[in-house]
Amino acid sequence: MKLLYFALLFLLVSFKYINPETESTPSKLVFKQYKALTKSGIQELSELRDSIVDKEFAGEDTGSKFTRGVYKSADLESYPIDTTSLKVHIQVSNDSIWRYTTKNDSKPEKYVLIDDANGKLIYFDHLKENIIKKVDLIKEADSDYMMTIDKNDTKTIHGFDCFKMKLIHKTRNPIYGNTIYDFYVTDQIDLPFYSVVKISKKISKLFPLEIRIKPEKQANQLELVYELIELR
């Protein structure tokens, strides 16, 4: 009887850890932050490069030497391009969630405490002693965001099942337009959605493991990408 009891207990514990529906709270996540050309940007750059080559062949004016050099030497296969060495760290300890950024593995210049209970981001100095500012995320109304979810667009990131989610932030900027956020999110991590980037819309039971941000009116604008590189 004891043997049967322990066998059942083992199965229950094993199921808890292998069941993909089980939520978990990692103690550390690290995202690599870099910039990448959008698909439309690559297309536009390719067309400009081909146009310059055709004009040179025809003996036509192709603009400045700098412009010719930039577009003719553009290696489109090298995009996405890593233009920074930034890493965004999410640290969970003693029921507190901290975010900080490092460049070339240097020490952080500031820390952000994620106060999920009150919907606030509290910025501290590099010593975590003095409060620099507090940001109230609840003040911005949900109507400032449009959200769509596509559960048919999926991928696996670090073992977590993810699906596509898009947010459009209605910034009404006359130059750049609205801000578009493309996410791959999971419902298997129990952390606030805005732990990685500042999002004022209240989103429950989801956490982003890949983020791409771009302005609506700039087709050739570099996307800002957050790619998960470490989780434990």
Domains of the chain, start order: 25-40+80-231 (2.50.20), 41-78 (no CATH)
Q: What is the pLDDT of residue 47?
A: 67
CB atoms within 10 A of CB 43: 14
Q: One digit per residue, pLDDT tens: the chain, 232 residues? A: 444 444 444 444 343 333 445 578 899 999 999 887 766 666 666 666 666 566 666 666 544 443 444 444 444 554 555 555 799 999 998 889 999 999 987 899 999 999 998 889 999 999 999 999 999 987 765 668 899 999 999 999 999 999 999 999 888 777 778 889 999 999 999 999 999 998 888 898 999 999 999 888 765 666 889 999 999 9
The pLDDT of residue 9:
42
162-169 contact pairs (CB < 8 A, 24+)? 162/186, 162/209, 162/210, 165/206, 165/208, 167/199, 167/201, 168/216, 169/144, 169/145
Per-residue confidence (pLDDT) for residue 190, from 0 to 100 = 94
Q: Where are the alpha helices (DSSP H) in the chain?
A: 2-18, 39-57, 65-72
**CA pseudo-torsion sign 33, 35, 36, 40:** positive
Q: How many residues does the chain have?
A: 232
pLDDT score for 172: 74
Residue closest to 207 by CA, chosen among 223, 217, 196: 196
